[in-house]
């Protein structure tokens, strides 16, 4: 298996060197940019920096030697372009001022101190390095500050298109100050990039954190592309994204089944400034209750949850209609520190990586990860409350939530008191990397074992690498469930006709019986490549512990069997799809297929065969930004 994983990574990395229009390697300007950032922060601490947003702007310091935006905004004169972008993103820090009322106040260059002149010279040197690496295509004289710190500027290429896109706050300021580089463009026609607004409330900390919230408060590298429609209305930043897969699957072997089904999700979101922080409203819905019939779709070696009170075997249950219904509030304590609050009637606590449907490394594979119930199954939990503190690239979080998994009634939200707890530490050293380790105590997790509690540990690394005509993403995820020993009491309700409301099938015992605990480990390595903007190539390798229930067919008596850790299975997936031309600017379509090769251990081969196989034909529709970017 190790050889196959290494071959997969080498094969995909070979594709990642295509194209010369954009340098995919880490920039040589990174040390100089870090030095400039550190020196600017020291200047802000040493002298009064009366900015109107948090974190404070850099533009005023490097243009005129000081910042008076707070005073100017309060007086109704407006602020610099970088501050206007900050207000649009919900980072305004002046009480009583609405973001829609903040105008742009262009200012020319002023007198800089010797220290600031040195900092500006160092920044200019870093910009020249970025230009040489073909990362910096700016539209104003001298180049913008904001994009320089991000290590890439596309404002010039965005503005030069037939349908011009918006620019960053620094470039907007430069155009209003008469510093635009392009002839034939009226300064008044240049607008702020909508992505400055769209991601308000979606990042846990300052720009240095380089990540975005995705599933609950789990974090994605900001280099991951987003397919998102955005609009600003009455002070609110409105966002909408989603994807739908149509799938026909065919599986070999005695337990293999065929089926036509669909998976997917849509995510409407909104954010705005509230008080001294940013309020975000997070929702997510899935059509799978309608598009996955009979309570599951075929997936060999998968197990977890029930359908008609019978444990699902060799199948994956659909997601609930309501996947997330939550609010978040982000309060910035300073330039590099923020506190994040999250509550979801339905949400994702601080356990595990970003759930598999939202990882770029999994974006084109519609089938669930076999290790889903060991790694990220809590992405649909109820009564979730999370608090986190972010400082630069480090985030610490703690959550309380109701531990029971969703029931078979996929349209509703199962309410329950907080009885489980989780904690997570996340590190994001750059915009391309995100790693996490988490630990959770999940009580009364499964309907088939309502008295069993579990400890869950997970660790993961995500990487996203932008390319000239696409991107390459991969993730490595480990998860462990330690199902704790418990005492099974006699007198459990066994038949639905005699069961109390909300009771579940339990195992039949005549005297109190001690049921031992078991440990299950699961490993997942997945990778997806988009090249030449049209060709998707992906792969996944899995090594997962399974229980003794895989010995049986789906039947009512299986609910009475006390399962135990029984074996370990392997699964490999490779797929390809082609991006089709679209006549709708905000939609993407692709058609493709994938092949699965599963390896059964010796104790399952008499039932499944040594190498059962699966094949899927895929049609995909995804929302993208109206300008055609993903």
The share of the chain scoring above pLDDT 90, in percent, equals 49
Q: What is the pLDDT of residue 478?
A: 98
Highest mean pLDDT pick, 279-293, 402-416, 438-452:
279-293
- Domain check: are 77 and 175 in the same one? yes
- Domain check: are 290 and 156 in the same one? no
Reported confidence tier of residue 362, pLDDT bands at 50, 70, 90: very high
Retrieve residue 252's tokens. Answer: 């070999």
- Domain check: are 245 and 114 in the same one? no
- Domain check: are 448 and 588 in the same one? yes
How far separated are the first and last CA of the chain, in Å rounded?
Answer: 34
pTM of the predicted model as reported, rounded to 2 decimal places: 0.77
pLDDT at 240 over 60: yes
List the one residue out of 38, 65, 46 whose CA is nearest residue 149. Answer: 38
| 609 assigned to some structural domain | yes
Domain boundary among 163, 195, 227: 195
- Domain check: are 491 and 554 in the same one? yes
| 6 assigned to some structural domain | no
- Domain check: are 191 and 203 in the same one? no
| 432 assigned to some structural domain | yes
- Domain check: are 438 and 295 in the same one? yes
Look at 22-36, 178-192, 296-310, 375-389 and tell me which has the smallest mean pLDDT: 22-36
Q: Which residues contact 512 (CB under 8 A, 6 or more apart)?
A: 487, 488, 489, 490
pLDDT at 276 over 80: no
- Domain check: are 103 and 116 in the same one? yes
- Domain check: are 138 and 219 in the same one? no
Alpha-carbon distance of 230 to 237, in angstroms, equals 7
Q: Which residues contact 371 (CB under 8 A, 6 or more apart)?
A: 477, 479, 522, 523, 524, 542, 544
- Domain check: are 100 and 212 in the same one? no
Average pLDDT for 320-335: 90
Interhelix angle 169-176/81-88, nearest 10 degrees:
140
Alpha-carbon distance of 119 to 117, in angstroms, equals 5
Alpha-carbon distance of 602 to 261, in angstroms, equals 32
Number of domains within the chain: 2
Alpha-carbon distance of 436 to 429, in angstroms, equals 12
Q: Identify whether the C-beta of residue 292 lies closer than 8 Å to the C-beta of residue 367.
A: no
| 12 assigned to some structural domain | no
Alpha-carbon distance of 209 to 523, in angstroms, equals 27
| 18 assigned to some structural domain | no
- Domain check: are 311 and 184 in the same one? no
Q: What is the pLDDT of residue 195?
A: 56
- Cα radius of gyration rounded to whole Å, the chain: 26
| 16 assigned to some structural domain | no
Reported confidence tier of residue 374, pLDDT bands at 50, 70, 90: very high
Alpha-carbon distance of 570 to 611, in angstroms, equals 10
Query: What mean pLDDT, rounded, does the chain reach?
Result: 86
Which residue in the block uniquely carries the two structure tokens 């994009």?
A: 147
Q: Which residues contact 593 (CB under 8 A, 6 or more apart)?
A: 575, 576, 577, 615, 616, 617, 618
Domain boundary among 195, 220, 240: 195
- Omega cis (within 30) before 79: no
| 298 assigned to some structural domain | yes
- Domain check: are 522 and 374 in the same one? yes
List the one residue out of 367, 390, 113 whose CA is nearest residue 250. Answer: 367
| Angle at 606 (CA atoms; ends 601, 609), nearest 5 degrees | 70
Q: What is the pLDDT of residue 345?
A: 96
- pLDDT tens-digit readout, 27-82: 888 899 989 988 988 888 877 778 888 778 899 888 888 888 988 888 888 899 99
Q: What is the pLDDT of residue 192?
A: 84
Domain boundary among 162, 195, 228: 195
Q: Identify whether the C-beta of residue 256 lies closer than 8 Å to the C-beta of residue 298.
A: yes
- pLDDT tens-digit readout, 470-515: 899 999 999 999 999 887 777 654 444 334 444 444 566 667 777 8
Distances (CA, A) of 25 to 17, 564, 602: 9, 47, 45
Number of neighbouring beta carbons within 10 Å of residue 168: 28
| 534 assigned to some structural domain | yes
Higher pLDDT, residue 390 or 202: 390
- CATH of residue 335: 2.40.160.10
Residue span of the structural domain in which 92 resides: 24-195
Question: Do β-strands 297-307 and 587-599 pair in parallel, antiparallel, or remain unpaired?
Answer: unpaired
């Amino acid at each position: 298996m190790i050889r196959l994983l290494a071959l997969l990574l080498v094969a995909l990395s070979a594709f990642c060197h295509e194209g010369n229009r954009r340098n995919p390697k880490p920039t040589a300007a990174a040390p100089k940019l870090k030095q400039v950032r550190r020196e600017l922060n020291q200047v802000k601490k040493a002298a009064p920096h009366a900015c109107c947003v948090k974190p404070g702007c850099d533009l005023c310091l490097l243009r005129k030697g000081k910042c008076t935006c707070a005073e100017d905004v309060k007086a109704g004169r407006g602020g610099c372009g970088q501050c206007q972008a900050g207000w649009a993103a919900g980072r305004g820090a002046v009480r009583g001022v609405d973001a829609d009322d903040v105008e742009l106040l262009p200012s020319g260059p002023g007198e800089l101190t010797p220290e600031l002149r040195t900092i500006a010279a160092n920044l200019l040197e870093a910009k020249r390095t970025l230009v040489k690496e073909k990362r910096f295509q700016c539209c104003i004289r001298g180049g913008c500050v904001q994009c320089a710190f991000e290590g890439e500027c596309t404002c010039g290429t965005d503005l030069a298109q037939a349908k011009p896109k918006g620019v960053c706050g620094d470039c907007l300021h430069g155009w209003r100050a008469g510093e635009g580089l392009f002839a034939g463009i009226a300064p008044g026609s240049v607008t702020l990039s909508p992505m400055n607004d769209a991601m308000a409330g979606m990042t846990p900390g300052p720009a240095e954190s380089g990540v975005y919230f995705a599933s609950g408060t789990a974090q994605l590298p900001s280099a991951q592309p987003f397919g998102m429609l955005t609009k600003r209305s009455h002070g609110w930043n409105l966002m909408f994204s989603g994807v739908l897969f149509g799938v026909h699957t065919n599986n070999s072997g005695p337990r293999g089944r065929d089926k036509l089904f669909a998976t997917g999700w849509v995510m409407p979101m909104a954010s705005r400034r509230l008080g001294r922080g940013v309020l975000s409203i997070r929702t997510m819905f899935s059509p799978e209750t309608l598009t996955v019939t009979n309570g599951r779709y075929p997936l060999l070696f998968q197990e977890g949850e029930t359908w008609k009170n019978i444990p699902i075997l060799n199948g994956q249950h659909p997601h609930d209609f309501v996947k997330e219904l939550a609010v978040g509030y982000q309060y910035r304590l300073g330039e590099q520190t923020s506190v994040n609050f999250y509550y979801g009637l339905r949400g994702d606590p601080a356990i595990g990586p970003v759930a598999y449907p939202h990882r770029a490394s999994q974006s084109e594979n519609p089938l669930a990860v076999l290790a889903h119930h060991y790694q990220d199954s809590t992405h649909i939990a109820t009564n979730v409350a999370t608090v986190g503190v972010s400082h630069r690239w480090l985030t610490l979080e703690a959550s309380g939530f109701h531990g029971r998994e969703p029931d078979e009634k996929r349209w509703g939200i199962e309410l329950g008191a907080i009885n489980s707890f989780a904690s997570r530490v996340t590190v994001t050293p750059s915009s391309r990397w995100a790693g996490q380790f988490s630990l959770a105590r999940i009580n009364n997790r499964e309907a088939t074992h309502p008295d069993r509690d579990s400890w869950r540990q997970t660790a993961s690394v995500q990487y996203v690498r932008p390319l000239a005509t696409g991107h390459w993403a991969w993730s490595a995820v480990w998860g462990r469930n330690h199902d704790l020993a418990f005492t099974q009491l006699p007198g459990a309700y066994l038949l639905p006709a005699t069961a109390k409301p909300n009771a579940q099938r339990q195992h039949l015992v005549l005297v109190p019986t001690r049921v031992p605990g078991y440990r299950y480990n699961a490993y997942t390595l997945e990778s997806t490549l988009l090249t030449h903007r049209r060709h998707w190539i992906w792969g996944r390798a899995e090594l997962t512990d399974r229980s003794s229930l895989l010995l049986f067919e789906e039947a009512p008596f299986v609910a009475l069997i006390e399962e135990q850790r029984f074996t370990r299975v392997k699964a490999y997936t490779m797929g390809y799809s082609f991006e089709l031309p679209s006549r709708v600017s905000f939609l993407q379509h692709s058609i493709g297929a994938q092949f699965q090769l599963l390896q059964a251990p010796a104790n399952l081969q008499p039932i499944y065969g040594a190498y059962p196989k699966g094949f899927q034909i895929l049609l995909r529709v995804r929302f993208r930004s109206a300008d055609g970017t993903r």
